[in-house]
Amino acid sequence: MPELTPEILWIGGGALAALIAAFALVIAFARARRAHVPTPVPLPPPGKSIVLAPPEGAVAVDRVAAPATDWREGLRRTRRGFVGRLEELLRGRTSLDEHTLGEVETVLYGADLGVRMAEEMLTAVRSLNAPDEVRPALEAKAQALLASLPSAVVEPREKPHVILVVGVNGSGKTTSIGKLAARYARAGKRVIVAAGDTYRAAAIEQLSIWAERAGVEIVKGAPGGDPASVAFDALKAARTRGFDVVIVDTAGRLQTDQGLMDELAKIQRVMRKEMASAPHEVLLVLDANTGQNAIRQAQEFKKAVAVSGIVLSKLDGTARGGVVLGIAQEVGLPVRYVGLGESLEDLADFDAHPFVEALFEP
């Protein structure tokens, strides 16, 4: 056994101290991680709803304006896939012969504009004389179409202002509700969200996390419970306590599921027992990545409920942003908001003029 000299004792003590420090660091890191994980909230018993305020210490979103919308960046992929292909096709050509028109037709039908919009644009192109007239003519056509739609903006006239949000699973509905709640909170409004997607416990928990991030209150029901009751309880709580805005989530559903579509009508009927004018807005969330399927979804949802506007999510991550024109042409619904990112601030008011300018920018 080696003799325990002062040098060995000093080295051993240093190693022990380092080991203790590392262990303390691991414990601190674990505690920090736990502090950032939302605390699960017990769900209410069947047939009951509970109103939950943001957790103590939760910080509401700053009441400052969201960043200005960068339409050019948000439509970068769509512009490359549509206008970029047109410009590449027409570059160096001096006439619009039948062969060139056939290639233009292929680009238009492949741009997720919808069949009617593609046909009308192709008709406009056939009336032109030169390739350099194509892009300005299509831009003017798009501007005129969007300008002809009714406004999607619904000004609050009663308190609370009630918004019903619908859409298929995976469309970005819950995320859009969180962003919308944050917008109203930034404007100084008191907001309650209703977790009306009672078919999935995960949906309730996901909306709870978004409500906490936005600093707003949430009304929950038990998984498998009646979504209409949750919506009613949220509206009643908002009226009793003087809240400004109620945003009601609904179960994600296929537009072909008639039973679930009928349930949307029931939710509206039940809410009107508490407030005859509710809901004041019905927003349909569509995933821009689905292209022309988004047009079919809009057509079917419009039959079931009085959709007032579209929320087009994930616009920045797709080359199919031209679907805005297809929805306008074939469904006649205006776009109210667009999702241009993943952060809480990335829900922008749709503005037709800069949208079309950015889409057709050379």
pLDDT tens digits, residue range 229-247?
999 999 999 999 999 999 9
Q: Look-up: residue for tokens 């928990």?
A: 205
pLDDT in tens, the chain (362 residues): 455 454 544 445 555 555 555 555 545 544 444 433 334 444 455 555 555 655 444 444 444 444 567 888 888 888 888 989 999 999 988 899 999 999 999 999 888 888 899 999 999 999 999 999 999 999 999 999 999 998 888 888 999 999 999 998 889 999 999 999 999 999 999 999 999 998 888 889 999 999 999 999 999 988 888 999 999 999 999 999 999 999 999 987 665 567 767 888 899 999 999 999 999 999 999 999 888 889 989 998 888 888 999 999 988 878 788 899 999 999 999 999 998 877 788 899 999 999 999 999 88
Task: Count, in order, helices (H) and strands (E) of the chain.
Answer: 14, 9
Report yes or no: 60 and 54 within 8 Å, Cβ to Cβ. Answer: yes
Q: Report DSSP state, residue 148.
A: T
Q: For residue 358, give Cα distances in angstroms to 37, 68, 137, 267, 350.
A: 39, 14, 15, 39, 13
Pick the closest to residue 203 from 249, 267, 162, 268 (CA basis): 249
Give me 195's structure tokens: 């977790």
DSSP letters for 314-339: SGGG-S-TTHHHHHHHHT---EEEEE
Is the peptide bond between 160 and the residue preceding it cis, with omega within 30 degrees of 0? yes
Give me 317's structure tokens: 């991550």
Q: From CA 318, how far away is CA 287, in angstroms rounded? A: 9
CATH architecture of the domain 49-68+149-359 equals: 3-Layer(aba) Sandwich (3.40)
What is the enclosing helix (H) or strand (E) of 51?
A: strand 49-52
Q: Report DSSP state, residue 132.
A: G
- Give the three-class secondary structure for 112: coil
| Domain spans in the chain, listed from the N-terminal domain onward | 49-68+149-359
| Direct distance between the N- and C-terminal alpha carbons of the chain, in angstroms, rounded to an integer | 82
